[in-house]
């Protein structure tokens, strides 16, 4: 009986140590180390290669090393019936709330213009926007989105939240469903996307949605690259319908070197760092998940495959 660890990054060592401490009898195999596939009971994965999980006949659970599970569900050979568990919050809600606050302040305080002026040694004072005039709309109101919305509200920003099904968050004006999305976006000076990627939310940030936002609005995408229709963003920025974007996630990662986003004057690019899984923050949760599974209990974070998160 083995734990199989698969991640594109080479960050396996802290996980091996944590598992060695918690389950000294449980062998920990880091892909692509050789081993018996029949022995694998738990797969701890980030972006597993397609077909890998279907080769493990005795798999008892798949655990995502992050909040998202789109990287698992996209495998056409994903074994049916094996529970998938996602991390609920292992520090990324706070990280993503901070990133969102930073992004909103960046645009509110006109940093893109000041940075451009600095490059020209141009001393020109521009008025910052008033916080009360910067209504922020947070798309996604789960553990992460709720935290993002509350952090922004605590700074005095008027905050709205949108989710697919109705949700309440203290102090936040909430909207839901397709009809709610129109009303929500029509008032959002900044839209911050933290939605999970599902067939229903793919391409949600498109020309039609940008067109209903107030002219010159901003988009912050820390959900998934496939939420955003890239050409529609470029067109909306070029026409002035959108004023700028801060993007952390992309359809193709790493973002290809010749991608137009890299050098676009109205786009800030960061390399998928808004919410990262830090082993020291997440290991207690993962160990607890395995402990519960070993006791025959179903841990929280079970993914509903039909919902996609």
Active site residues per annotation: 224, 272
Tokens matching residue 32: 């692509």
Element (DSSP H or E) covering residue 220: strand 217-221
The smaller minimum CB distance to ligand GLV, of residues 68 and 301, is found at 68
The answer to whether 230 touches 253, Cβ cutoff 8 Å, is no
Tokens matching residue 119: 């490059």
Vertex 263, ends 257 and 269: CA angle to 5°? Answer: 80
Instruction: State the minimum distance, in angstroms, from the CB of residue 118 to ligand GLV.
Output: 32
Instruction: State the minimum distance, in angstroms, from the CB of residue 15 to ligand GLV.
Output: 15
The smaller minimum CB distance to ligand GLV, of residues 46 and 114, is found at 46
Residues that bind ligand GLV (CB under 6 A): 66-68, 92, 275, 277
d(C-alpha 103, C-alpha 44), whole Å:
32
The smaller minimum CB distance to ligand GLV, of residues 67 and 303, is found at 67
Residue 303: is the preceding peptide bond cis (ω within 30°)? Answer: no
Tokens matching residue 210: 């940008």
Instruction: State the minimum distance, in angstroms, from the CB of residue 243 to ligand GLV.
Output: 26
Q: Which residue is nearest to ligand GLV (CB)?
A: 66
The smaller minimum CB distance to ligand GLV, of residues 55 and 307, is found at 307
- Count CA atoms closer than 13 A to 42's CA, side-chain side: 19
**Which are the contacts of 130, defined by CB distance < 8 A and separation ≥ 6?**
none
Instruction: State the minimum distance, in angstroms, from the CB of residue 235 to ligand GLV.
Output: 27
The smaller minimum CB distance to ligand GLV, of residues 66 and 299, is found at 66
| Whole-Å CA distances, 210 to 26, 131, 207, 231, 294 | 51, 22, 5, 12, 48
Main-chain phi, psi angles of 70, to 5 degrees: -60, -30
Tokens matching residue 27: 């062998």
Instruction: State the minimum distance, in angstroms, from the CB of residue 173 to ligand GLV.
Output: 26
């Amino acid at each position: 009986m083995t734990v199989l660890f698969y991640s594109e990054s080479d960050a396996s060592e802290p996980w091996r140590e944590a598992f060695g401490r918690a389950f000294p009898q449980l062998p920990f195999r880091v892909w692509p180390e050789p081993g018996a596939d029949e022995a694998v009971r738990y797969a701890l994965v980030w972006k597993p290669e397609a077909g890998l999980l279907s080769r493990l006949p005795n798999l008892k659970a798949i655990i995502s090393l992050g909040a998202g599970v789109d990287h698992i569900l996209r495998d056409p050979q994903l074994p049916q019936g094996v529970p998938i568990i996602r991390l609920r919050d292992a520090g990324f809600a706070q990280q993503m709330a901070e990133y969102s606050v930073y992004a909103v302040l960046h645009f509110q305080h006109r940093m893109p213009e000041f940075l451009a002026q600095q490059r020209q040694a141009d001393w020109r004072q521009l008025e910052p926007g008033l916080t009360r005039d910067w209504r922020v709309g947070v798309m996604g109101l789960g553990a992460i989105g709720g935290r993002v919305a509350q952090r922004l509200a605590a700074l005095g920003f008027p905050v709205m939240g949108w989710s697919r099904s109705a949700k309440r968050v203290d102090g936040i004006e909430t909207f839901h469903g397709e009809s709610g999305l129109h009303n929500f976006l029509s008032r959002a000076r900044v839209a911050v996307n933290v939605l999970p990627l599902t067939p229903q939310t793919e391409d949600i940030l498109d020309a039609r949605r940008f067109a209903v936002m107030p002219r010159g609005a901003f988009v912050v995408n820390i959900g998934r690259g496939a939420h955003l229709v890239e050409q529609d963003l470029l067109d909306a920025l070029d026409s002035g319908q959108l004023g700028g974007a801060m993007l952390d996630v992309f359809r193709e990662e790493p973002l290809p070197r010749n991608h137009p986003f890299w050098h676009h004057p109205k786009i800030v690019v960061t390399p998928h760092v808004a919410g990262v899984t830090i082993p020291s923050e997440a290991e207690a949760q993962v160990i607890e998940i395995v402990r519960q599974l070993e006791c025959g209990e179903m841990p929280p974070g079970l993914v509903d495959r039909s919902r996609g998160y």
